[in-house]
């Protein structure tokens, strides 16, 4: 298959624009394998529709909050379908003649004859976080009951209280959150310095 077709398939069948999947290799030492290494192709949905919740359970600042990611809870199972498309694409990539000999046999799904229902069941039982949570102090106007801060990071209803990190992002960016969080922090810090 030509490379340009491979690149064009870097999105799920549900995606109408840009891309919604990240397929990436993860590897490391594993002394239980014949080679002493294990490599996997991980799949991530970059545009999840499921929404979790963060609940503060105590006024004690040392008390841990309750975090409920609510993976695959979106109405219509769109996240599940995107991830199942991603797993199918990762399997297709792994079976390429140039890569297949390096990866060896498949260990997670166990072969090439999986049905869509089996792939979706695999996704449901193996879904994990992707290290990019955002939105626990979501940005938005004061009229939005789910918004915690305004466009400059000011907490609605409090004086001189700001949030300046990835938690104010209303949507997960289709990339790592570290650099966008840095930009948010620098921008809000600059506004605060200019207002003094």
pTM of the shown model: 0.80
* Whole-number pLDDT of residue 129: 82
Same domain for 164 and 97? no
* Residue whose pair of structure tokens reads 């498949």 in the numeric block: 106
Tell me if 189 sits within 8 A of 182, measured CB to CB.
no
* Whole-number pLDDT of residue 108: 73
Q: Which of 73, 93, 126 is the last residue of a domain?
A: 126
Mean pLDDT of 26-54: 87
The DSSP code for 166 is: G
Measured CA to CA, the distance from residue 154 to residue 12 in angstroms comes to 37
Local confidence band at 5 (pLDDT 50, 70, 90 cut-offs): very low
Mean pLDDT of 37-56: 87
CATH number at residue 86: 3.30.560.10
Same domain for 58 and 146? no
Same domain for 61 and 38? yes
Same domain for 115 and 157? no
Same domain for 39 and 96? yes
Is the pLDDT at 64 greater than 70, yes or no? yes
Q: How far is CA 6 from the centre of its chain?
A: 22
Q: Which of 104, 126, 148 is the last residue of a domain?
A: 126
pLDDT, tens digit, for every residue of 110-127? Answer: 665 578 899 999 999 988
How much is the mean pLDDT over the chain?
A: 86
Mean pLDDT of 9-22: 80
Q: How many domains does the chain have?
A: 2
Which stretch of 7-21, 60-74, 147-161 has the lowest confidence by average pLDDT?
A: 7-21
Same domain for 100 and 37? yes
* Whole-number pLDDT of residue 4: 41
Is the pLDDT at 104 greater than 80, yes or no? no
Is the pLDDT at 63 greater than 90, yes or no? yes
Same domain for 96 and 15? yes
* Whole-number pLDDT of residue 113: 59
Same domain for 154 and 110? no
Is the pLDDT at 161 greater than 90, yes or no? yes
Q: Which domain holds residue 24?
A: 3-126
Is the pLDDT at 7 greater than 60, yes or no? no
How many CB atoms neighbour CB 192 within 10 A?
A: 15
Is residue 129 annotated as a catalytic residue, yes or no?
A: no
Q: Which is the catalytic residue, given 22, 69, 129, 132? A: 132
166 phi, psi to nearest 5 deg: -65, -15
Same domain for 147 and 113? no
Local confidence band at 3 (pLDDT 50, 70, 90 cut-offs): very low
Measured CA to CA, the distance from residue 129 to residue 50 in angstroms comes to 12
Q: Tell me the DSSP string of 9-33.
A: TSS-TT--SS--EEEEEEEEE-TTS
Measured CA to CA, the distance from residue 140 to residue 9 in angstroms comes to 34
């Amino acid at each position: 298959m030509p490379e340009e077709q491979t690149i064009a398939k870097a999105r799920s069948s549900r995606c109408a624009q840009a891309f919604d999947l990240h397929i990436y290799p993860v590897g490391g030492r594993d002394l239980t394998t014949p080679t002493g290494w294990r490599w996997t192709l991980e799949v991530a949905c970059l545009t999840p529709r499921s929404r979790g919740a963060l609940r503060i359970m105590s006024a004690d600042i040392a008390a841990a909050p309750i975090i409920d990611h609510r993976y695959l809870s979106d109405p219509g199972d769109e996240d599940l379908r995107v991830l199942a498309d991603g797993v199918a694409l990762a399997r297709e990539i792994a079976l390429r003649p140039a890569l297949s000999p390096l990866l060896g046999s498949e260990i997670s799904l166990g072969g090439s004859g999986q049905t869509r229902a089996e792939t979706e069941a695999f996704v449901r039982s193996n879904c994990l976080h992707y290290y990019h949570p955002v939105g626990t102090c979501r940005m938005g106007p004061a009229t939005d009951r789910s918004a915690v801060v305004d466009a400059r990071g000011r907490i609605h209803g409090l004086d001189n209280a700001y949030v300046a990190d990835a938690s104010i992002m209303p949507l997960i960016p289709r990339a790592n959150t570290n650099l966008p969080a840095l930009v948010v922090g620098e921008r809000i810090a600059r506004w605060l310095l200019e207002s003094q």
